[in-house]
Chains A and B, each alone.
Chain A
Amino acid sequence: MHELGVVFHIMDSMEKVAHENEATGISKVVLELGEVSTVIESYLQNCWKWAAGKRDLFADAELIVETLPAVTYCEGCGQTYPTVEYGKICPHCKSPDTWLLQGNEFNIKEIEIY
């Protein structure tokens, strides 16, 4: 359900960009998706196909998703580690005093218009 909502948001804002640039269509949208953002790529693709069929500008728009790895920084020892594998607790020093350096991004990187 969430994926459909964000697809609508992406399409709304990219429609604006397409109009500003006097485009007649959008052929590609490239997203950057963090590994631990709350969005699941396969659902996103499915929602994209469904929603694209309902909007003229997106009729043949391809969705490309680039994944950004999640990395956590540890205040305890100053090292970083892969978030998905180890979660909140630092594997180097076992400190829980850690925060996400990157991995919850959900960005529109670029679009291709014609």
Chain B
Amino acid sequence: MKEVRVLEIKQSVFADNDKQAADLRQELKQKGIFLLNLMSSPGAGKTTTLMRTIEAMRDTFKIGVMEADIDSDVDARTIQKSGAKVIQLHTGGMCHLDAEMTRQGLDGLKVEDVELAILENVGNLVCPAEFDTGASKNVMILSVPEGHDKPLKYPLMFSICDVVLINKIDVLPYFDFDMDKCREYILMRNPNAKIIPICAKTGEGISEWTKWLAEEVKSWRAAE
């Protein structure tokens, strides 16, 4: 007869991942690698925004990019054209990247000479918000066609982000997107969020975003 034992666990489902993420964050700090986690729904403009970001910052920082997708390497091929170091990660059907997968990606990227590592997470506003990747800063993109009510529908994503980029502002005249309401909804969930309207296609607003990012990297380096 087998002996049955009950073990009290009492830990969050995310506890293991949170610990791995905290370890990774510390390790990256020692190596001097700033990790940015970029999230949005599919089609909000992550890759185009990333291309603009690399273009504006590649003379200041050595940039490495990790493209996480369920399948394909179309984004990695696009990013490669920018001249940045890039690696494609496949999540094997999973809807998000966790800290362990991020670590494997960084190993694959051979980050020793990278100063700014950018993780383009799987396009999804739910799951990536639950899993800390070990990033120093989290940024998300909300695009105008998605609507200004998204902060109400996906509160966790908006509450964990340091910056919200509102993309595709060139099409504002064609949509019922209320920018003031959107700001109000975001700040209701996250009073500290920095909100920057951009258009990745035309480049509008990109300099404000890259300036913010460059300063964050600098102050992160200066901090003990």
Q: A-side interface residues toward B, CB under 8 Å?
A: 1-2, 4-6, 8-10, 12-14, 17, 21, 23-25, 27, 31, 38, 88, 96, 105-114
CB pair A114 B127 closer than 8 Å: no
Verify if B98 is at the interface (C-beta below 8 Å from A).
yes
- CB contact between B127 and one of A5, A12, A21, A25 (< 8 Å): that residue: A5
Give the residues in chain A near B16, CB-CB below 8 Å. 9, 12-13
Give the residues in chain A near B219, CB-CB below 8 Å. none
CB pair B96 A31 closer than 8 Å: no
> Assuming the A-B contacts A1-B94, A2-B95, A38-B156, are A9 and B5 also in contact, with contact meaning beta carbons closer than 8 angstroms in the complex?
no
Of chain B, the residue at the smallest CB distance from A97 is B188
20 A-B residue pairings within 8 Å (CB atoms):
A1-B93, A2-B130, A4-B93, A4-B94, A5-B131, A6-B13, A6-B130, A9-B14, A21-B7, A23-B5, A24-B2, A38-B126, A106-B13, A106-B14, A107-B9, A108-B12, A109-B9, A110-B10, A112-B5, A113-B5
> Assuming the A-B contacts A1-B95, A1-B127, A31-B13, are A112 and B156 also in contact, with contact meaning beta carbons closer than 8 angstroms in the complex?
no
Closest Cβ–Cβ distance, residue B98 to chain A (whole Å): 7
- Bound-state Cα–Cα, A108 to B127, Å: 19
The digit string for B1-45, where 1 denotes a CB below 8 A from any CB of A, is 011111111111111110000000000000000000000000000
CB pair B7 A17 closer than 8 Å: yes
Of chain B, the residue at the smallest CB distance from A28 is B6
- Bound-state Cα–Cα, A27 to B10, Å: 17
Closest Cβ–Cβ distance, residue B68 to chain A (whole Å): 13
> Assuming the A-B contacts A21-B5, A114-B2, are A107 and B12 also in contact, with contact meaning beta carbons closer than 8 angstroms in the complex?
yes
A1, A21, A31, A112: residue with the most chain B Cβ atoms closer than 10 Å? A1
Of chain A, the residue at the smallest CB distance from B9 is A108
- Bound-state Cα–Cα, A4 to B127, Å: 11
CB pair B4 A9 closer than 8 Å: no
Q: B-side interface residues toward A, CB under 8 Å?
A: 2-17, 93-96, 98, 124, 126-127, 130-131, 156, 188
Give the residues in chain B near A38, CB-CB below 8 Å. 126, 130, 156
Closest Cβ–Cβ distance, residue B191 to chain A (whole Å): 11
Give the residues in chain A near B124, CB-CB below 8 Å. 1
CB pair A108 B11 closer than 8 Å: yes
Give the residues in chain B near A113, CB-CB below 8 Å. 4-5, 7
Given contact pairs A1-B127, A2-B127, A114-B2, a sample of 4 additional A-B residue pairs in the complex whose CB atoms are under 8 Å apart: A9-B16, A107-B11, A108-B11, A112-B4
- Bound-state Cα–Cα, A88 to B13, Å: 26
Of chain B, the residue at the smallest CB distance from A18 is B7
- CB contact between A2 and one of B8, B12, B96, B98 (< 8 Å): that residue: B96
Give the residues in chain A near B8, CB-CB below 8 Å. 109-110
- Bound-state Cα–Cα, A38 to B87, Å: 30
> Assuming the A-B contacts A17-B7, A21-B5, A38-B130, are A108 and B13 also in contact, with contact meaning beta carbons closer than 8 angstroms in the complex?
yes
